[in-house]
Amino acid sequence: MKRLTTLAASAALIALPSLGLAQEADVTPPNEEIGYIFTTFMFLVTGFLVMWMAAGFTMLEAGLVRQKNVTMQLTKNIALFSIAALMYYLIGYNLMYPGDGWSIDGVLGAFSPASMEPVGLAETETDLTYASVGSDFYFQLMFCATTASIVSGTLAERIKLWPFLVFVIVLTALIYPIQASWKWGGGFLDAGGFLDFAGSTVVHSVGGWAALAGALILGPRLGKYKDGVVHPMLGSNLPLATLGTFILWLGWFGFNGGSQLYMDTAGNVADISRIFANTNTAAAGGAVAALILTQILYKKVDLTMVLNGALAGLVSITAEPLTPGLGAATLIGAVGGIIVVFAVPFLDKLKIDDVVGAIPVHLFAGIWGTIAVVLTNSDASLGTQLYSILVVGVFVFVVSGAVWFILKLTMGIRVSEEEEINGLDMAELGMEAYPEFSKG
């Protein structure tokens, strides 16, 4: 026993120098860096969630198109995300966030590639009140890519691959960053008091306007509107579409939560949790509203409407997910779900073919969500909100329409009738998503 005690004492004495060294190596950051660290970490984690929405859009679209066009949607989504990443780096980021480098003050940002701080922040004075440039760039890029994803689903099953990708280049490099700079970059809409917390207008309605312009110029799918009758074209995989919706629902917590922009105080952390709760209940409100309304109108529940109802609820709360209580957030989301149920047949009456319902979800519910800000945020002005919706809508619709028209005249944007009938997977890509099954 005495021998064991002696050994233990010896071990303790041997360890003392190393314990002292560990104390000397303490690298606890100073207080002024802690907020910077937490906010940077928040941008990275919420950015991961928003990136996961790209998978959600892909699965939703793959499930809602016919079997013969699934590979095309998969290709478009991986390509548009990658193109957005490059274009936002080369042009978009500084065009959207020019700081003091506006080309036209408050209207047109700076034309230069994005650049990050030196490795380890060496020999630089960093603004420790915010976050790292790398994390901010990454987070904001995800919003840019989301805008392009919205367009993909609307124009499915009849658009050529390469003209679509050329449009994505213009959208992610110029159209999205320019209008986003007017609000989030400190431009003229922001100076006028426009409020759009996480992008009901800046992201979602922009994607919707671009999709609407494309749908009008591209035209509907063959046989969709024939002899005055709407012919439904059912999706290939509703389980996949449902999975996509849940992925988008999850990703939206990053979309809205990260838009708090700071995680450096207890108040900011509490607000982020409040945003999460409101985002979730708005989606639930949209889904339940569509569930009940389709049962009343059609005597049967329409799953695709319920899925889009949840997404419309998410879009609706995105413009102001912080100030509402849970009850108000639920009702705001529910109105989004109702909008979808009525907007889908409304577009069909106009013979505007939107394969996945992106225009009702992102454009119509995006407009509603931007207006709904005035219901819970006393700083919002209805006139300012409407004016900003109009300005962004006219800009995006006109420029997008011009780009689509030019592409139609130069490259041609629509596949031939034979290729559309046979499916874009084989016509454009030469491979099928489900080769062991017959064409749907």
Structure tokens at 53: 């929405």
Reported confidence tier of residue 26, pLDDT bands at 50, 70, 90: low
Return the pLDDT at 23.
Answer: 53
Return the pLDDT at 106.
Answer: 96
Return the pLDDT at 440.
Answer: 47
Q: How far is CA 249 from CA 6, 50, 174, 242, 341, in A?
A: 62, 10, 28, 11, 19
Specify the DSSP class assigned to residue 37. H
Residue 183 is which amino acid?
K
Q: Tens digits of per-residue pLDDT, 66-119? A: 999 999 999 999 999 999 999 999 999 999 999 999 999 999 999 999 999 889
Reported confidence tier of residue 164, pLDDT bands at 50, 70, 90: very high
Instruction: Map residue 349 onto helix, strand or coil.
Output: helix
Residue 344 has pLDDT above 50, yes or no: yes
Dihedral, 186, 104, 211, 252 alpha carbons, nearest 10 = -20
Please, is 298 exposed, middle or buried when counting C-beta atoms within 10 Å of its C-beta (0-12, 13-18, 19+)? exposed
